[in-house]
Amino acid sequence: METVYYIILVPMVYAAFGIFVLGTAYKLVRTFRSPKHPSTLRIYPERKPRWLWALHDTFLLPTVRRHNPVHWVFLMAFHIAFLLVILGHIELFAEIPLLQVIPHQVFIGKGFVGLVLSVALLFFLFRRFHSPYRELSVPEDYYLLILLFLTVLFGSEMDWARRWYEYGGMMVGDYRDYLTSLVQLQPDIAFVSYGGHSFMLVLHVFFANLFLMVFPFSKIMHSFFSLAMNRLRR
Of residues 93-132, those binding other proteins (CB under 8 A):
131-132
Helices (H), the chain: 2-9, 11-32, 50-60, 62-67, 69-93, 112-127, 133-136, 139-164, 172-183, 197-214, 222-233
Q: Please, is 147 exposed, middle or buried when counting C-beta atoms within 10 Å of its C-beta (0-12, 13-18, 19+)?
A: middle
> Considering only residues 11, 40, 47, 199, which one is a binding residue for other proteins as defined by CB under 8 A?
40
> Considering only residues 14, 21, 25, 32, which one is a binding residue for other proteins as defined by CB under 8 A?
32
CB atoms within 10 A of CB 55: 15
Q: Is 230 in the site for other proteins (CB under 8 A)?
A: yes
Query: CA of 7: how far to CAs of 1, 78, 109, 139, in Å?
Result: 10, 31, 31, 28
Q: CB-wise, 106 or 214, nearer to other proteins?
A: 214
Q: CB-wise, 15 or 171, nearer to other proteins?
A: 15
> Considering only residues 146, 194, 199, 219, which one is a binding residue for other proteins as defined by CB under 8 A?
219
- The four Cα atoms 217, 126, 147, 183 give a dihedral, to 10 degrees, of 90
> Considering only residues 1, 35, 102, 165, which one is a binding residue for other proteins as defined by CB under 8 A?
35
Q: Is 136 in the site for other proteins (CB under 8 A)?
A: yes
Q: Is 44 in the site for other proteins (CB under 8 A)?
A: yes
CB atoms within 10 A of CB 33: 7
Q: Is 168 in the site for other proteins (CB under 8 A)?
A: no
Q: Which DSSP letter does residue 132 get?
A: T
- Amino acid making up residue 99: L
> Considering only residues 53, 112, 133, 167, which one is a binding residue for other proteins as defined by CB under 8 A?
133
Residue 38: CB minimum distance to other proteins, A = 7
Q: Is 232 in the site for other proteins (CB under 8 A)?
A: yes
Q: Is 48 in the site for other proteins (CB under 8 A)?
A: no
Query: Binding segment for other proteins among 91-99, 151-159, 194-202, 218-226 (CB under 8 A)?
Result: 218-226
- The four Cα atoms 56, 142, 10, 162 give a dihedral, to 10 degrees, of 80
Residues that bind other proteins (CB under 8 A): 27, 30-46, 57, 61, 63-64, 67-68, 71, 131-133, 135-141, 143, 217-219, 221-222, 225-226, 228-230, 232-233
